[in-house]
Amino acid sequence: MKRSVIHCMAISALAVAGNSAFAEENKSTENKEIKVADASNTTGGTLFSQEQIDFLKKEMQKKDVTENKIAFAGLVQLNANFNDSQRSSAPDFSASKVRLGVNVSGGIASGQVEVQLAGNKSSTQTVSSTTSNGQTTQVTSGDNGNGEVTIRRAQLNLDVLTLKADQNVFTTTISLGGIRIGGGDTTAAPDTTWTPTGYGRQDGAYLKQAMVFGKSANIELGVGGFNNIIAVTNNPYPSTNNQSGGYTGWGDATTTTKQANWGNNSFSQSMGIAGHLAATVNFEEDHFVKAKAYIGSQGNAPTDQDSNGNLTKAKDVTHIEASLLYNNAAVFGGKGVISGNGVSAWYENENIGRTKTAAKSGSDFNYTNTATDDSQNATLAGLGIAADSSNYLTGMLQKGDFITYAISYAMANITFGSKTTSQDYNASQFAASVGYGVNTFETAVNFEFNSADTNIYADTNGVVNKKSSTKTYLTMAYAF
């Protein structure tokens, strides 16, 4: 998981206001910590975990169904880059995201909205000059780079059926909107680790069945249809004339499929299917094992459109993820903000088909394969361990403070349909971090060493001519 933070007065004020406004509700947690924000840098990271949503639903069962319970969450992040063997500008600083979200629960209904503020995006302004009668006039057009807001999630949920038998509860939920179904659980790893990308916002409908067997176990499965299935591609590296910049890791893979603009209908007339299965076994409180598996597939998934919003290109895609997480809070702790706690293993496979050109034909499209086979198949596997000192060193630190530490190893294998597009490559990463946390704030120093079987890493001038790279940075994360 990747997380980093910038101190922002506006966000701090919002956090204080939120703490005051909801102090009464917070008492009902009976001092049991519930993490509301996932500071993941992956596509599928979310401010509201399923545990948080379920907790709010249980709280509403104690109240009048005409009342609503509202909870806010947020994440602010910043990195101080000490060293990067692929960039000449390091040391420097980078702020990548500010996320805000709200969860509303009332009766059997709930909803979540999350947005990401991208800050000052790149300017698209152009300046044109015209000369008339010896006088030159300049006209500026385009965006000046004031920023953008991305809707990461906007979904409504309805529990259409709930059955109870002793301590066992079976709930069927249908969701509609911009849905985040999640991804592999990779919390037990440093911030910089290559981890599965997860399923980000996909516009569609999702049917989920949750089965809770008292305090001993729970199982969850779901399936849904979407305008597009999230799939990602890794960079190609031709054997010659490669000046595109070095490989920055699986976590920076590019999203291949294209979502319709928010508020608009799908422009591709293609429907994707995705589903998941998750199970948790609790041995005792804060001692558990979780297993998750996700799969999504779509034929003729939209990948490009013209200025009029018409579909121009498409690909067949399949996205698979799986993970296994074990944690015993008595051994690994349970307060980590950036890297979580426990031992985790993960897997992801991306099967990206050849680009097709799409030509409108009546109410349908005709698809034609492009001349060059740019398909790729990419696999990621990794293992991580993360812990904190909340069970010891208590006499050496202030109350509530803790030290965090994590290590991980990940391997990526990328093969291409045509060697004209890129040579195949295998890459690996070793990562480690040591940090200090208090409450839901954590700061940590991260180090990564990457290597590959061919030249996919760049020198400080951006020329791809190396088989390894290193990076060291300080990250801060504040989740509220």
pLDDT at 128: 62
- Could you tell me if 188 and 384 are in contact, meaning their C-beta atoms sit under 8 angstroms apart? yes
Please report the pLDDT score of residue 342 as a whole number: 95
Contact criterion met (CB below 8 Å) for 235 and 378: no
Closest CA to 118 of 138, 156, 147: 147
Backbone angles phi, psi at 476, to 5 degrees: -125, 140
Question: What pLDDT shows up at residue 69?
Answer: 86
Q: How far apart are CA 274 and CA 257, in angstroms?
A: 14
Instruction: Name 466's bridge partners.
Output: 457
Cα angle value 77/427/463 (rounded, 5°): 80
pLDDT of residue 19: 37
Residue 391 has what pLDDT? 83
| DSSP-derived pairing of the beta strands 109-117 and 92-94 | unpaired
**Considering the entire predicted model, what is its pTM?**
0.83
- Distance (Å, rounded) from C-alpha 385 to C-alpha 332? 9
Q: State the Cα–Cα distance between residues 197 and 232, nearest whole angstrom.
A: 8
How many C-beta neighbours within 10 Å does residue 110 have? 24
Report, as ranges of residue numbers, the positions in the chain whose pLDDT lies below 70. 1-65, 96, 119-147, 241-244, 394-396
Is residue 203 within 8 Å of residue 260, measured between CB atoms?
yes
Predicted confidence at residue 239, as pLDDT, reads 74
pLDDT given at position 395: 61
* Structure token pair of residue 364: 């349908």
> What are the residues facing 321 on neighbouring strands?
294, 348
Question: Using DSSP, how many helices (H) and how many strands (E) does the chain show?
Answer: 4, 25
Contact 76, 6 (CB under 8 A): yes
- What is the DSSP annotation of 86-151? T-SS-SEEE---EEEEEEEEETTEEEEEEEEE--SPPP--EEEEEEETTEEEEEEES------EEE
> What single string gives the DSSP state of each residue in 362-404?
TTEEEEEE-SS---EEEEEEEEEEEEESTTS-TTTS-TTEEEE
At 275, which amino acid appears? Answer: G
